[in-house]
Amino acid sequence: MSNRHVRPLTVLLCSVFLCLSVFSVQSGHAAQQRTVRVGLTPQAQFTRVENGKVSGYIPDQLEQLARYTGWNVTFVVLKDWSASLQALDSGKIDLATPALHSAERAQHYLYCAYPAGTSYTAIIAPANSPVIYDDLDKISHLRLGALPNAIWRKDFAAFMQQRDVAMPAMAEYPGRDEARAAMRAGQVDALLESVLSLQNDEKILLKCKLTPFYYITLPQNTPLMQELEQAMVQLKMEQPDLEYRLGRQYLPRMYQTPLTRSELAYIAQRHALRVGYSPNRKPFSWQDPATGNARGILPDILRDASARSGLQFIFEPRHASAAGTADVFAGNKLDLVLDSFAASDPPSDKALRLTAPLARANLNLFAKPETKISSTDFFRVAVPATLYNAASYAARIFPQAAARIFPCEEDCMTAAGRGEADAVLGSSMVANSLMNSSRFADFNPVTGYTDLEEIRLIIRPALPDVLQGILNNLLLTIDEKSRTQIISNNITAAITPPTVSDLMYEYRSLLIIIAELVLFVSALVAYALHLRRKNMYSQLASDQRLAHIADNINGGVISISSQLPLRILDANNGFWQLLGHDANNPETTDLIDLLHAEDTQKLLDMIAEKHDGPLTRMLELRLRHKDGTWLPLLLRGTFTGDKGGSDSIDCVVVDITEQKRMQEELEQEKERYRILLEQSQDIFFDVDTEKRQFRCSPNFLLKFGREATPLFNEKGRPINRQIVHPRDLPALNELRRRIRSGKPTAFAVMRIPTAEGRYIWCRVQATRISKPDAPLRLVGKIVDIDEEVRRRAELERRTQRDSLTDLLNKTAFRDKICAAMPVKPQQDRTDALLFLDLDNFKLINDTFGHVTGDATLLKASEAIKHIFRNADAVGRFGGDEFCVFVRAITREALQERAEALLTELHMFVEHEGQRVEITTSIGIYLFDGSESSYDVALHRADNAQYLAKQAGKNRYCFYEEVPDPWLGDMDDPHYIREDSGES
């Protein structure tokens, strides 16, 4: 069978044609899914089992293969490789992997013709081991732990022989766990293993040989293996890089080559390298204005390299110019320079020493929408000097354009905004960051041109070649998750609040309108002042007509016209003084101008009432004081006039400010509390139903690990999926209903899911900011109250539960029954109270001790809970006494429960040859509506229990069976029967 793995290329081609010919057959197989059991052994990051879910290299690969085979793959998790082979031999699984190839194993198992992946035979040691990578001299003196695996030993022996190094001492262990435990205990220094088992707290000292691993099965499963091989061929044709991508995802450290001894020695003696960076290229790099430190994607990537190697960097800002890089290294000011290169225009200077790229981004043309760029027409392009050889590159790419060099992309866009250029050539990441500002928000990419920008380090010519190798190693082996996180963090950090110039640019049209309005209002005010002076003499005449009206009341006296604008015909000094006006020169003589807008219609309705002859009315109004405040006043007026319609109202106006003060203070307290809530810094959201938009603050992602779920779908209808816990949907719908019904603010408490599926208790506040007749627009906030809710629930549970049995304690049980009283029996159903007392329990404590007694009580409580429903209340009354409150039950059903209690609570407790029999006596009281309180009901159940105890124990009695002579003092709810002594 081993010859299967040395087939010539023709076999592969034949397999391809075979796959194409049986494509229709495979479709039939897909319709009849077969279940394939695959054995997996947990191995570090290669194969993980978390919460019963399998993930890793093999599960992901089989998921892709199942698209072609139509298999329903199930995984069987096994302890180790030996257990996997045993499961395969016994038929418990259909496939096993990862299997290394050997001639001996190939005689017993059927191998897949194509490897599932590759790994290395490696020497693995603890991360704190002093031995460094590829130090063969020290490795030869180590004590190695190994598994009984001739394949790894053969590869390692051949490698050491080829390098002419002596083999180290080895100790054999039966399994991977035993070998790793020996290494942790210091019995061996390292392990001879597959790199697949490398854990996070370990490191690689040596990689010996790149070895493929396979899927294997039993020879009788040949059709199964043929399906797998056909699927492998199709997968390799459609996704040729799948194995590499899975390896980078689940075995990233296998692709990393640690630094050698000579490289580490160079780093140890090397002083900090000075790196020149552009201080104005967000998010790639920028200088923090507060601290002066270098920030951005590029400095953070180098800091990550420093943390992994010990190589130190000092960042110095460098302003790019069109002069090139020759002057940068003059005087040895910088050791390294971060510079951008177009992928289609590599540098022609062969002496220029460059590292691998730190980052890549698209190069695009950007222009305003009204600018038309053609490949044949002349245009002016602004090019940033941060691009290496910017002038010659622009001339080559855009021969019809006139290029002008600016220090950075921001200067290029500023020039284009002033009309000095038609388009901007720049990095897409930098341009996107700039377009967050309103000054550059109207720039868009121009189609028809694109290139790739690569940012590399230029190394000073005098530095040794070993530094270039170290830097390339560090840049090529950076963890992809770390790189993604660095990019994400810096794109977020590069977003800055708008500046004054941004705001002025964004609202320039509004500012012009405001200026015009100011001029118009000024002219209007001037005209109003002119009219005021013109009417001054007529106003003085009106004041004299009111001279006979008393001015010594707490308010004033006025006479107003009943026609709009309710002109004030006469008013005394008291009225004008009340409003803070000069009686000789009031600002207006129209009451409508002083009247609060909400009170205008009330006054107009009162005036419109039909009346014959004088009519007196009283009304509360608010008039505007001169200082802008509103005074609450009581207006009492009498309608007078003739039939011609020239009616007037003679009124007495009384100041009721003092009466309103208390009410206003209360309203102010409410408003202050509301403002405090609105200003708390939590998660805020904005809903616009007209535009069908839902926006949420970034705190939502930080809190819940996911983007916020929109409140509306594309048709404008509310969606409930993934917003809140299903049980909290009524609260969410009620909040929506209140807002839509006109409530300005609504609150709700609900659970919101995180990305991991966990729910967090939150208080949600929504405030409507749109007018009643306008489309709904609201803002709100989400406050995390999860800890408070859970702590309160836990405290409430502890205060209501017995510490031993977790049943309701006496107080909580009492509250439960009191809440249900008074009880009203319904036909043959009513509530019932059971009082239980364990017989002979005192002997348990006296004979075996309280530990055994507590265990007996716990067992009894579990039996009681098992018999009754969740809706019933079970409590521990004290010692060995229990109470049960049963809702809506018939007498027959209650007798069945009582019989079950007698059976379940009849037990024997044995210890060291001694034996005690435990039974129970039960008193039952059926509520009939005559009980006046909880104490009465409890006392009646206790009397019934006492009767059961006196009748010989191990039985139940109803309260109706209690003899009349027993009633009397014992029927008094305040009477307390002495304990029988058994508790």
pLDDT on residue 24:
43
pLDDT digits (tens, 9 = 90+) for 898-928: 999 999 999 998 877 888 999 999 999 999 9
E strands along 253-293, which residues? 273-277, 280-281, 285-287
Burial class (CB in 10 A: 0-12, 13-18, 19+), 385: buried
**What are the chain's domains?**
2-255 (3.40.190.10), 546-662 (3.30.450.20), 689-780 (3.30.450.20), 801-971 (3.30.70.270)
Q: Is the pLDDT of residue 583 over 90?
A: no
pLDDT on residue 17:
45
Q: Is the pLDDT of residue 6 over 60?
A: no
**Cα distance between residue 506 and residue 773, in whole Å:** 29
Q: Is the pLDDT of residue 260 over 90?
A: no
Q: What is the mean pLDDT of residues 699-720?
A: 71
The 3-state secondary structure of 352-414 reads CEECCCCEEEEEEEEECCCCCCCCCCCEEEEEECCECCHHHHHHHHCCCEEEEEECCHHHHHH
Report percent pLDDT > 90 for the chain: 28
pLDDT digits (tens, 9 = 90+) for 768-810: 887 777 777 888 888 888 888 888 877 777 777 888 888 888 8
Report percent pLDDT > 70 for the chain: 86
**Cα distance between residue 220 and residue 230, in whole Å:** 18
Q: Is the pLDDT of residue 14 over 50?
A: no
For residues 64 and 22, the answer to whether their CB atoms sit within 8 Å is no
Q: Look at the alpha carbons of 948, 950, 951, 954 in this order and tell me if their dihedral is positive or negative.
A: positive
Residue 374: band (very low, low, confident or very high) from pLDDT cuts 50, 70, 90 = confident
Closest CA to 477 of 692, 238, 342, 307: 307
How high is the mean pLDDT of the chain? Answer: 83
The 3-state secondary structure of 483-518 reads HHHHHHHHHHHCCCCCCHHHHHHHCHHHHHHHHHHH
Please report where in the chains the tokens 């085979």 appear, as a residue.
69
Q: Look at the alpha carbons of 418, 423, 429, 430 in this order and tell me if their dihedral is positive or negative.
A: negative
**Cα distance between residue 383 and residue 401, in whole Å:** 11
pLDDT on residue 265:
85
DSSP readout, 741-801? TT-SEEEEEEEEE-TTS-EEEEEEEEEE-S-TTS--EEEEEEEE-HHHHHHHHHHHHHHHB
What type of residue sits at position 798? R
- Residue 347: count other Cβ atoms within 10 Å of its Cβ: 16
pLDDT digits (tens, 9 = 90+) for 215-225: 999 999 999 99
For residues 416 and 368, the answer to whether their CB atoms sit within 8 Å is yes
Q: Which residues contact 419 (CB under 8 A, 6 or more apart)?
A: none
Q: Look at the alpha carbons of 412, 417, 418, 420 in this order and tell me if their dihedral is positive or negative.
A: positive
Please confirm whether the linkage preceding 710 is cis (ω < 30° from 0).
Answer: no
Q: Is the pLDDT of residue 423 over 90?
A: yes
Give the lowest-confidence range in 17-21, 305-309, 385-389, 888-892.
17-21
Q: What is the mean pLDDT of residues 598-626?
A: 78
Q: Is the pLDDT of residue 979 over 50?
A: no
pLDDT on residue 975:
45
Residue 486: band (very low, low, confident or very high) from pLDDT cuts 50, 70, 90 = very high
Residue 316: band (very low, low, confident or very high) from pLDDT cuts 50, 70, 90 = very high
Burial class (CB in 10 A: 0-12, 13-18, 19+), 357: middle
pLDDT on residue 660:
75
pLDDT on residue 171:
92
Residue 545: band (very low, low, confident or very high) from pLDDT cuts 50, 70, 90 = low
For residues 70 and 33, the answer to whether their CB atoms sit within 8 Å is yes
pLDDT on residue 367:
92
Give the lowest-confidence range in 4-8, 826-830, 893-897, 924-928.
4-8
pLDDT on residue 677:
42
pLDDT digits (tens, 9 = 90+) for 570-579: 888 888 887 8
DSSP readout, 845-911? HHHH-HHHHHHHHHHHHHHHHHHS-TTSEEEEEETTEEEEEEEEE-HHHHHHHHHHHHHHT-EEEEE
Residue 978: band (very low, low, confident or very high) from pLDDT cuts 50, 70, 90 = very low
DSSP readout, 662-673? HHHHHHHHHHHH
For residues 444 and 368, the answer to whether their CB atoms sit within 8 Å is yes
**Cα distance between residue 877 and residue 33, in whole Å:** 60
Tokens of 744: 């300005």
pLDDT digits (tens, 9 = 90+) for 121-159: 889 999 888 888 878 888 899 999 998 876 788 888 888
Tokens of 109: 């198992």
Query: Which is more confident, 434 or 562?
Result: 434
**Cα distance between residue 523 and residue 531, in whole Å:** 13
Between the ranges 597-606, 660-669, 963-972, where is the mean pLDDT highest? 597-606
Q: Is the pLDDT of residue 700 over 90?
A: no
Residue 711: band (very low, low, confident or very high) from pLDDT cuts 50, 70, 90 = low
pLDDT on residue 110:
95
**Cα distance between residue 606 and residue 510, in whole Å:** 42
pLDDT digits (tens, 9 = 90+) for 598-610: 888 888 887 777 6
Q: What is the mean pLDDT of residues 40-65?
A: 87
For residues 572 and 559, the answer to whether their CB atoms sit within 8 Å is no
Please report where in the chains the tokens 């002093």 appear, as a residue.
130
Closest CA to 833 of 968, 953, 969, 943: 943
pLDDT digits (tens, 9 = 90+) for 843-866: 888 888 888 888 999 999 999 989
What type of residue sits at position 842? K
Looking at the DSSP bridge assignments, the partners of residue 96 are 39, 216
Q: What is the mean pLDDT of residues 753-757?
A: 88
Q: Is the pLDDT of residue 401 over 70?
A: yes
User: Long-range contacts for 689-695 (Cβ within 8 Å, ≥24 apart)?
Assistant: 689/716, 689/775, 689/776, 689/777, 690/775, 690/776, 690/777, 692/716
Query: Which is more confident, 459 or 327?
Result: 459
**Cα distance between residue 176 and residue 751, in whole Å:** 44
**Cα distance between residue 401 and residue 381, in whole Å:** 7
For residues 428 and 445, the answer to whether their CB atoms sit within 8 Å is yes
Instruction: Tell if the pTM clears 0.85, that is, is over it.
Output: no
